[in-house]
Amino acid sequence: MTRPPFDPPTERDIAIVSAQLGRPARDVAGIAARCVCGAPTVVATAPRLSDGTPFPTLYYLSHPAATAAISYLEATQVMNEYNQLLSDDESVRAHYRDAHTSFLADRAVLGDVPEIAGISSGGMPERVKCLHALAAHSLAAGPGVNPIGDLALVRAAWTPTVCECLDYDLGTEPGAGPTGQAAPGRE
């Protein structure tokens, strides 16, 4: 079996993700992207939840600042612009179809769920439906894999290169970042 393209979650990761989401994290299969301070930014979720529900959204944006920035883009109708780009540009459409294939291959590492076979997330491969999912895919897969996720990240008022994490109360020393060590700029 191919190795998943993400790190196995630690108990601390699950605690941080739960704090980020404001609810218990569920069925986290891995941490697909991290903040520069080491805190989870994107989780990989099992394709079948523990209650048996099929869950096509492998990559889930958990970082509050990233989520807020992408929500702003969605609220300002950026998805309409990106859907028009897909309609007008065959090269972007082809690259987006490749992103869909890449996403499905990543999820297949976690198992086969017939109910969601061929279904990725974010509207891939035909349209832009959820920038959160597409940005999460870009953060997990790296630049150049998902063209729409990449565009959203460039445009967002958040960057993965600057820590904007909260100091979650996880039993760390006062002033420590979410990893238990001083976060950049908080020393």
User: For the segment 36-66, what is each residue's pLDDT rounded down to a tens digit?
Assistant: 999 999 999 999 999 999 999 999 999 999 9
pLDDT of residue 71: 98
pLDDT of residue 149: 98
Closest CA to 86 of 118, 138, 123: 123
Sort 14 into a burial class: Cβ within 10 Å, 0-12 / 13-18 / 19+: middle
Would you state the structure tokens that stand for residue 121, as one six-digit string? Answer: 């997330």
User: Would you say residue 135 has pLDDT above 60?
Assistant: yes
Question: pTM for this structure?
Answer: 0.89
- Domain extent listing, the chain: 11-155
Q: SS3 string of the chain?
A: CCCCCCECCCHHHHHHHHHHHCCCCCCEEEEEEECCCCCEEEEEECCECCCCCECCCCEEECCHHHHHHHHHHHHCCHHHHHHHHHHHCHHHHHHHHHHHHHHHHHHHCCCCCHHHCCCCCCCCCCCCCCHHHHHHHHHHHCCCCCHHHHHHHHHCCCCCCCCCCCCCCCCCCCCCCCCCCCCCCCC
Would you state the structure tokens that stand for residue 14, as one six-digit string? Answer: 């699950």
pLDDT of residue 166: 84
Tens of pLDDT along 149-159?
Answer: 999 999 999 99
pLDDT of residue 181: 45
> At 5, is the pLDDT very low, low, confident or very high (cuts 50, 70, 90)?
confident
Residue 142 neighbours by CB under 8 Å, 6+ apart: none
